Amino acid sequence: EAGVTQSPRYAVLQEGQAVSFWCDPISGHDTLYWYQQPRDQGPQLLVYFRDEAVIDNSQLPSDRFSAVRPKGTNSTLKIQSAKQGDTATYLCASSPPGHSNERLFFGHGTKLSVL
Amino acid sequence: GDSVTQMQGQVTLSEDDFLFINCTYSTTWYPTLFWYVQYPGEGPQLLLKVTTANNKGISRGFEATYDKGTTSFHLQKASVQESDSAVYYCVLGDWYNQGKLIFGQGTKLSIKP
């Protein structure tokens, strides 16, 4: 069974540039999460979806970050105008129906450096 | 709000040593507690779930215990191996917001061969 796939693996930007991260969850998983993991810290939830609906985006900086999951499968997280403080690894995770936070499967992440 | 605190940022042991990592949590709801492990270059993966009913979880030689009185939970292993080198996170499941996990700061375990 294929795991959660993320691309790209790495991204390097100048401040003010835009970037998009892409995630393909495990087939059949209805819930998809985006976490931000600063260096040497634990992951922090940004947003999560059940199917195509946003369930919680309260931690997503809405002025510059956006996330979509239009068909309830793949998802894209976009940073409109990156800042140095956005430097982190962005992790996507998915979980199967009925399990909510019981078991999350994480991808390898996208490591973002903003210069 | 809900929170979890993991004080040990780094632990260095020799092979066959005993491992003990401690966390404390704060929540107004019923806690669901997990331990996740993260190897270099990978995302975190579930190691153990600690259920309040059993107060203990066991997996891959690791054992997790939970103390409701002190709102703390622990991860231990009797004899660590070099392959156990990784970052270990204690994690609190948000009972109200079922999709949310709250991660601790992580404990980096290094094993001297």
Shortest alpha-carbon distance between residue B18 and chain A (Å): 24
Rounded alpha-carbon distances, angstroms, from residue B108 to A40, B8, B96, B98: 9, 8, 30, 28
DSSP per-residue codes, A63-104: TTEEEE-TTSS-EEEEESS--GGG-EEEEEEEE-TT-TTS--
Q: What is the pLDDT of residue B52?
A: 66
Rounded alpha-carbon distances, angstroms, from residue A63 to A6, A60, A66, A76, A77: 24, 9, 8, 16, 13
Q: Is the pLDDT of residue B66 over 90?
A: no
Cross-chain residue pair B106–A56, CB shorter than 8 Å: no
Q: What is the pLDDT of residue B97?
A: 67
Cross-chain residue pair A91–B46, CB shorter than 8 Å: no
Asked if residue A94 lies in contact with residue A105, where contact means CB atoms within 8 angstroms, the answer is: yes
Convert the pLDDT of each residue in A26-55 to its tens digit: 999 999 999 999 999 999 999 999 999 999
Q: CA A105, CA A7: separation in Å to the nearest integer? A: 16
By percentage, how much of chain B surpasses pLDDT 90? 58
Q: What is the pLDDT of residue A32?
A: 95
Shortest alpha-carbon distance between residue B100 and chain A (Å): 6
- Average pLDDT on A79-101 reads 90
Asked if residue A69 lies in contact with residue A57, where contact means CB atoms within 8 angstroms, the answer is: no
CB contacts under 8 A, A 9-68 vs B, are 31, 33, 40-45, 48, 50, 55-56
**Chains A, B: CB contacts under 8 A, how many?**
59
Cross-chain residue pair B103–A42, CB shorter than 8 Å: yes
A91 contact residues in B (CB cutoff 8 A): 43-44
Q: How far is CA A79 from the centre of its chain?
A: 11
B106 contact residues in A (CB cutoff 8 A): 40-42
Cross-chain residue pair A93–B43, CB shorter than 8 Å: yes
Q: What is the pLDDT of residue B56?
A: 74
Mean predicted lDDT score pLDDT of chain B: 88
Distant-in-sequence, close-in-space partners of A68: CB < 8 Å, separation ≥ 6? A75, A76
Convert the pLDDT of each residue in B27-54 to its tens digit: 877 778 899 999 999 999 999 988 665 5
Convert the pLDDT of each residue in A54-86 to its tens digit: 999 989 998 999 999 998 899 999 999 999 999
